[in-house]
Structures are given as structure tokens and as C-alpha cells.
């Protein structure tokens, strides 16, 4: 689908302006969901595994023609913006892009809500509590908007991709001026202009698929580490997960565009990049005429003069031998692998539509460990999936030990409207789920502490990111295997990779002292 066709499908709607002009419509607060459904009619598709399999590959277009129209280039002069980011690294990186666009429009960034002319909430929909936080924040910002009617308050990110959320905002939070989705970020200049000059709410959500827009500006948060998108979207349709709906279908950036971005980052002095995607192992599967996967991409990137390359997030199903072979060569490809398992029970995994079993996951782990004996493995786990039995939960506990994960993000299952799992009856009481999470976390903490202990007395390479949040006299950075290290050292070490001798191991971090020689500064 090209940009013109997309525009035809675009849902820029001046809700009450258009409706009230007709003189026949109800006031905004009296409208029901049905009144807002039209904004999603052409684009909204509830999650559907069968349809997902048929998602067209040929429809992805890559655009290199992003430009800010002349009349919007100075629209932000003398004004400030603030973007609050919730959720994953993908959102963090989208925020860097939005900051880049707003900066090119003349805006400056601020941390102070009172000084901001635009506030954007870049939201996460993965679990209910993430959404609740955002609704709380929308409420908190209301007095500010009442005080300063010229303030543009926008909601973007994954929550905006859900029809029910848009309905709720439109009905109950009319002080929100602008709602736009994850595929509409490049339209920000137009949307801001629209919100500035119209007296009505602006809603633009293309929820269907999304193209790739290449040359978007970015204001990166740091000068040491950078995110690099390699692909967008997800076609895996795990039954609990909202992401395939909020982020569209899997689509990969072309290798040459990624390589060029990484080269540019290396030349600008960045020391570490993290390749980003909801399921990076599916990289290249959407290329029609070539067989080119994540392993091939990583091999090419490993030749670039940048000290550290990471990638996240992996799906066990697509983690192939070629990738293992390339990672095993080491060099600047780090051997920390985040490999979400979600559950240790094959039956639960089947219900989650993960397409692997406990046994095949363990087999993959064996292969990885054989090729990379020092690899660190971390994971994501969901407890309390509908009807998870005690025995099935115990299988998660034993898998945690068997693999020896050094860290895990653990979650209580949160039903997401429109996903297959949310429609299932669930006989597990919340108290039981909480108890399971508690037990799992105890085990995660124990394994993390044990892994940290092994570093006591060792010397590790730390990429120094800056001062520690708690103490400006202490520097902080991460090891190759992603362990946080706090240590005393000169400020001149910031941005460099230095040797640090570990003096104390805590559950989630290490303390140390810098050893004189700097390791490598490319
Ligand atoms: N409930 C709880 N956790 C979830 N995740 C994704 N969807 C849900 C949900 N509905 C977790 C998975 C995923 C991580 C990013 O969030 O573990 O890997
Ligand atoms: Fe969600 Fe990850 Fe499953 Fe995709 S692979 S549906 S992002 S949990």
C-alpha cells in the first residue's frame, strides 16, 4: 500500500467539529462506542491467527521521502515539548524519532510539564497496569490543560491502536487533543498543525499494517548506546499478546539501510548498538526474492568497527543454526541472549500458540550453550495463564533452574481485550497467581544473586554510561553480559570501555573499582 492509498484510509477526524457542523449529532460526552467505531472501520482488524497467516507480504513499501513541509519547519520556534514514554525499547526508540521530528520543527525539549507546549504520552498496551498508569497520567494533566488551553496534549503508541482505548479517551478525557497510532509517527508535523489550528480532537490511527519509513530524524537519548530498528511488527500471534495488533505485521528493514545506520553510529562515536524488533529472529522472512536472515545481517554488522552489538527480542521458534554459528564467532557480537520462554509447560505453551515445547526449547538452549559456553541467558515468563495448573506452574519453576537463567522479567497474565486468551474462562484465583509470581521471583532473585557472586574478584569490561543515579561520585555501566556495575572512577571514563575489578556482588548489580588501563576506545 502506498502513501496515497494510506492517506485515503487515513482517519484524520475532527470529531465534534465535523459532526456538530451537521447540527444533528450528540455532544461528545453522550456518544457511545458505536459512534467512534467509524474511525476504525477501514483499518481496524481484531487479532485473528488465521488472517495473520495470510497477511500480505507484497504490501510493504519502503519510503525514503520523509520531509517536513516548509510551513511547519518553524512552527515550534520558542516552544517546548515533553514526551513521556511507557513500555518497551521499541517505544523508547519511537520517542527518539518523535523528539527528532519535533526538534526539526523548531521545538525544544523540556522536563517540566508547566513549560511544555506539547505533551505526548507514548503508551504501552501490553498489560492492564501499563494502561492504568497512562489513564492516571491523562487525569493528572487535565488541570494543566484547563489552565493553558493552547497546550497540545497527545496520546500515541500502542494504546492508541486499540479501538476501546480511543473510545474511552474521546468520551471521558476530552482534554486530550490528539490521538495517533504507531504507524502514524511520520505524520506528526501534520497532526500537530491540525491540533493547533482546529478546535477539535484529531484522531489518526492506521491500525492495519504499516510501511517502513526510512529517513526519519532522531534525537537519541545518549551518546554511548543506541537502538537500531531492524524490523517492525509481529506475526506470531501468541494468544495472550496484543502486539500483533498494535504494531502490525512483520516487516524487515533492508540490510543496506541498517548497515548504513550502524556505520553512521560507529562513526559518531557510539560504542554499543542494540538491534530492535518484536521478534528479531524473524528478520528477513518477509523478503520475497532473497534468503537473508538475522544471522546474515549480524555477520555483516560484526565487521563494522563498533565494540558491542546486542539484539532483542528473540523468539525461540525462529532462532536458527545460522544465527548460532555467527554469534559463536564472538567479536563484537555479545553472548547475552534474551530468549523469552513464557512457560515451562508444553501444554501451556501450546495454548499460548508459542509453537515450541519445553523439550524443543531446552534443545535450543543446549545448542546455544554448546556453541557459546559462556553465554548468559535471560527470559520472560508469564504466570497464571488461564487455567494454568499447579503442576504446570511447577514445570516453569524447574525449567527456570534447568536452564539457569541469570535474570527474568516475570509477569502475571493480564487479559487483553480482543486476544484469544482473553475470551477463555479462567479458574485460577488472583491470589494463587500472586503466590506463584512470588515464588518464581524468589527463584529468579536466587539465580541472579548466584550468577553475580561468580564475578566476585573478577575483572570485567564495563561500558561506562555515566554517573550512578543514586550517587554522582559513582560511575555506572554494563558488562558485555549486561550486568550493571557501579564503581569509583574518573569522570573521563564516561563513554569508554574500562576494566573494573568486582569487589562486591549484589542481587541485581555489582560494585567494583576501576583498574587503570582503558580497554578499547574505537
Ligand atoms: N500478560 C502478561 N504478560 C504479557 N506479556 C505479553 N503479553 C502479556 C499479557 N497479556 C509479556 C511476555 C512478553 C513480555 C514483553 O511481556 O512475557 O515476552
Ligand atoms: Fe507478542 Fe512476542 Fe508473541 Fe509477538 S512473539 S505475539 S510480540 S509475545
Q: Alpha-carbon distance 406 to 251, whole Å?
A: 31
Query: How many C-beta neighbours within 10 Å does residue 352 have?
Result: 22
Ligand 2 center from residue 238 Cα (angstroms): 6
49 Cβ contact partners less than 8 Å away, ≥ 6 residues apart = 237, 239, 353, 420
Q: Alpha-carbon distance 95 to 51, whole Å?
A: 30
Determine the Cα angle at 504 with ends 501 and 507, to 5°: 125
Give me the tens of pLDDT residue by residue for the chain, a chain 522 residues long. Answer: 233 333 333 322 222 222 322 333 444 445 455 554 544 433 434 444 455 555 555 567 899 989 999 999 999 999 999 999 999 999 999 999 999 999 999 999 999 999 999 999 999 999 999 999 999 999 999 999 999 999 999 999 999 988 899 999 999 999 999 999 999 999 999 999 999 988 778 998 875 567 899 999 999 999 999 999 999 999 999 999 999 989 988 999 999 999 999 999 999 999 999 999 999 999 999 998 889 999 999 999 999 999 999 999 999 999 999 999 999 999 999 999 999 999 999 999 999 999 999 999 999 999 999 999 999 999 999 999 999 999 999 999 999 999 999 999 999 999 999 899 999 999 999 999 999 999 999 999 999 999 999 999 999 999 999 999 888 899 999 999 999 999 999 999 999 999 999 999 999 999 999 997 655 544
Best of 411, 415, 422, 426 to mutate for ligand 1, by most ligand atoms within 8 A of CB? 411
Ligand 1 center from residue 385 Cα (angstroms): 10
Please indicate whether residue 417, judged by its CB atom, sits closer than 6 Å to ligand 1: no
Rg (CA), the chain: 24
Q: Alpha-carbon distance 510 to 345, whole Å?
A: 33
Q: Alpha-carbon distance 67 to 101, whole Å?
A: 10
How would DSSP label each residue in 67-91?
---GGGTTTTTT-EEEEEE-SSHHH
Ligand 2 center from residue 235 Cα (angstroms): 8
Best of 276, 380, 428 to mutate for ligand 1, by most ligand atoms within 8 A of CB? 380
From the list 445, 441, 478, the residue with the least C-alpha distance to 462 is 478
DSSP code of residue 65: -
Is there a cis peptide before residue 313, judged by omega within 30 degrees of 0? yes
Q: Alpha-carbon distance 487 to 71, whole Å?
A: 50
Ligand 1, atom nearest to 412 Cα:
2
Query: How many C-beta neighbours within 10 Å does residue 508 have?
Result: 12
3-state secondary structure 383-438: ECCCCCCHHHHHHHHHHHHHHCCCEEEEEECCCCCCCHHHHCCCCCCHHHHHHHHH
Contact 225, 275 (CB under 8 A): no
Q: Collapse the DSSP code of 159 into the 3-class scheme (helix H, G, I; strand E, B; otherwise coil) and give the result.
A: helix
pLDDT digit string, tens, across residues 284-330: 999 988 899 999 999 999 999 999 999 999 999 999 999 999 999 99
Ligand 1 center from residue 382 Cα (angstroms): 6
Q: Alpha-carbon distance 288 to 291, whole Å?
A: 8
Please indicate whether residue 40, judged by its CB atom, sits closer than 6 Å to ligand 2: no
pLDDT digit string, tens, across residues 256-282: 999 999 999 999 999 999 999 999 999
Contact 220, 226 (CB under 8 A): yes
DSSP code of residue 254: P
Q: Alpha-carbon distance 522 to 520, whole Å?
A: 6
Contact 245, 207 (CB under 8 A): yes
Ligand 2 center from residue 244 Cα (angstroms): 7
Determine the Cα angle at 198 with ends 195 and 201, to 5°: 60
Ligand 1: residue whose CA is nearest its atom 2 = 413
Amino acid at each position: 500500500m502506498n502513501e496515497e492509498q494510506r492517506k485515503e484510509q487515513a482517519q484524520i477526524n475532527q470529531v465534534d467539529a465535523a459532526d456538530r457542523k451537521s447540527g444533528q449529532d450528540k455532544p461528545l460526552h453522550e456518544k457511545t462506542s458505536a459512534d467512534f467505531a467509524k474511525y476504525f472501520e477501514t483499518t481496524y482488524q481484531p487479532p485473528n491467527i488465521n488472517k495473520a497467516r495470510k497477511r500480505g507480504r507484497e504490501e510493504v513499501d519502503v519510503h525514503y521521502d520523509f520531509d517536513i513541509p516548509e510551513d511547519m519547519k518553524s512552527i515550534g520556534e520558542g516552544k517546548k515539548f515533553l514526551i513521556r514514554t511507557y513500555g518497551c525499547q521499541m517505544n523508547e526508540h519511537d520517542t527518539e524519532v518523535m523528539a527528532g521530528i519535533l526538534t526539526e520543527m523548531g521545538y525544544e525539549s523540556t522536563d517540566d510539564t508547566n513549560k511544555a507546549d506539547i505533551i505526548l504520552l507514548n503508551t504501552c498496551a501490553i498489560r492492564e497496569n501499563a494502561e492504568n498508569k497512562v489513564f492516571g497520567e491523562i487525569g493528572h494533566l487535565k488541570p494543566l490543560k484547563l489552565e493553558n488551553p493552547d497546550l497540545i496534549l497527545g496520546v500515541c503508541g500502542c494504546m492508541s491502536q486499540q479501538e476501546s482505548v480511543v473510545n474511552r479517551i474521546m468520551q471521558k478525557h476530552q482534554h486530550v487533543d490528539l490521538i495517533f497510532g504507531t504507524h502514524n509517527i511520520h505524520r506528526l508535523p501534520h497532526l500537530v498543525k491540525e491540533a493547533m489550528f482546529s478546535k477539535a480532537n484529531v484522531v489518526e490511527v492506521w491500525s492495519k499494517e504499516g510501511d517502513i519509513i526510512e529517513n526519519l530524524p532522531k534525537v537519541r537519548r545518549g551518546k554511548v548506546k543506541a537502538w537500531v530498528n531492524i524490523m517492525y511488527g509481529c506475526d506470531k500471534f501468541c494468544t495472550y499478546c496484543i502486539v500483533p495488533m498494535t504494531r502490525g505485521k512483520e516487516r524487515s528493514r533492508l540490510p543496506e539501510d541498517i548497515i548504513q545506520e550502524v556505520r553512521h553510529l560507529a562513526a559518531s562515536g557510539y560504542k554499543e548498538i542494540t538491534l530492535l524488533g518484536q521478534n528479531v529472529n524473524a528478520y528477513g522472512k518477509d523478503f520475497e526474492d532473497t534468503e537473508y536472515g538475522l544471522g546474515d545481517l549480524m555477520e555483516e554488522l560484526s565487521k563494522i568497527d563498533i565494540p558491542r552489538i546486542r539484539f532483542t527480542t528473540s523468539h525461540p521458534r525462529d532462532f536458527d543454526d545460522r544465527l548460532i554459528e555467527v554469534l559463536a564467532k564472538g567479536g563484537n557480537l555479545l553472548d547475552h541472549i534474551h530468549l523469552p520462554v513464557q512457560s515451562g509447560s508444553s501444554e501451556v505453551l501450546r495454548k499460548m500458540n508459542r509453537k515450541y515445547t519445553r523439550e524443543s526449547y531446552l534443545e535450543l538452549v543446549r545448542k546455544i550453550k554448546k556453541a557459546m559456553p559462556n553465554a548468559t541467558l535471560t527470559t520472560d515468563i508469564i504466570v497464571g495463564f488461564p487455567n494454568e495448573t499447579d503442576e504446570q506452574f511447577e514445570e516453569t519453576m524447574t525449567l527456570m533452574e534447568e536452564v539457569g537463567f541469570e535474570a527474568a522479567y516475570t509477569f502475571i497474565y493480564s487479559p487483553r481485550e480482543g486476544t484469544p486468551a482473553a475470551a477463555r474462562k479462567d479458574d485460577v484465583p488472583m491470589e494463587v497467581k500472586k503466590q506463584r509470581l512470588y515464588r518464581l521471583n524468589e527463584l529468579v532473585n536466587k539465580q541472579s544473586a548466584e550468577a553475580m557472586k561468580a564475578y566476585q574478584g573478577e575483572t570485567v569490561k564495563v561500558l561506562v554510561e555515566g554517573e550512578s543515579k543514586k550517587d554522582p561520585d559513582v560511575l555506572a555501566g554494563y558488562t558485555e553480559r549486561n550486568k550493571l556495575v557501579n564503581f569509583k572512577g574518573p569522570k573521563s571514563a564516561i563513554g569508554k570501555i574500562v576494566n573494573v575489578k568486582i569487589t562486591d556482588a549484589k542481587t541485581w548489580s555489582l560494585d567494583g573499582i576501576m583498574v587503570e588501563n582503558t580497554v578499547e576506545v574505537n
